[in-house]
Amino acid sequence: AMLFEAVSAMLGRVPNSYRILGHSPLVAKMLIPFNAVVQRQGAGSVLTARLKEMAVIKTSHVNGCRY
């Protein structure tokens, strides 16, 4: 429950990828802070959130990801 509350506060919703993490609290405890740095602005990162999102979209496109 705390996991979903934290993710909802950060993203405004709970994406399916985070719902899956609810089955493994230890993995979630390690992965959520990592995702925050990788995907969000600030949090110790020098890249803007916009540039990070562009990299995610390009990588998904190159790999044929539909999700």
| Count of structural domains, the chain | 1
Query: Does 30 map to a domain?
Result: yes
Query: Range of 16's domain?
Result: 2-62
* Measured distance CA(17)–CA(11) in Å, rounded: 12
* Measured distance CA(3)–CA(9) in Å, rounded: 10
* Measured distance CA(9)–CA(14) in Å, rounded: 9
User: pTM of this prediction?
Assistant: 0.51
Query: Does 15 map to a domain?
Result: yes
Query: Does 67 map to a domain?
Result: no
Q: What is the pLDDT of residues 3-60, one digit of tens each?
A: 788 778 878 898 888 888 888 888 888 887 787 777 776 667 788 888 888 988 999 9
